[in-house]
Amino acid sequence: FAPPTRCRVVVDAAKAGFPKELYSSRIRAVGLADFLLRNLYDTCKQLGADDKMQGSGWKGPKGGDLQVLEPCQHVLEQSAVRIDTSNGDVIAQITVNLPARGRTILGHAAETIFGQTL
């Protein structure tokens, strides 16, 4: 059994395209990050990216899911998604259960997760 892989995704401010006014103060950056976390969480649910492969027995395929911190009803500063107020980069931290069969990583399925789903 291997623990899930923790990943950090950084989206450059130019690609994210958020106006500086949305993260000009700490409270605005927290609000924007909370909004993005809620959207990321909802999108993972809608795409089924949080669903594990269901294998039978030891050699069946397992894993293959993305896990994002579930947002609560309050707007809080969290490490799951944050905005770097110095340059506007968006930083998200997710957990990926790499798809595996037994003790072997399923490379093509992992490529799909990192290349398409993520």
Tens-digit pLDDT profile for residues 24-77: 999 999 999 999 999 999 988 887 766 555 554 545 445 667 788 889 899 989
Looking at the DSSP bridge assignments, the partners of residue 105 are 100
CA dihedral 23, 26, 27, 32 (to 10 degrees): 40
Percent of the chain whose pLDDT exceeds 70: 85
What pLDDT score does 4 carry? 81
**Tally of CB atoms within 10 A around 43:** 13
Backbone angles phi, psi at 61, to 5 degrees: -65, 140
pLDDT of 49: 65
What pLDDT is attached to residue 83? 96
Q: For the chain, give the mean pLDDT.
A: 83
- For residue 80, is pLDDT > 70? yes
The average pLDDT across 102-109 equals 78
Q: What percent of the chain has pLDDT above 90?
A: 42
pTM score, two decimals? Answer: 0.78
Give mean pLDDT, residues 83-88.
Answer: 94
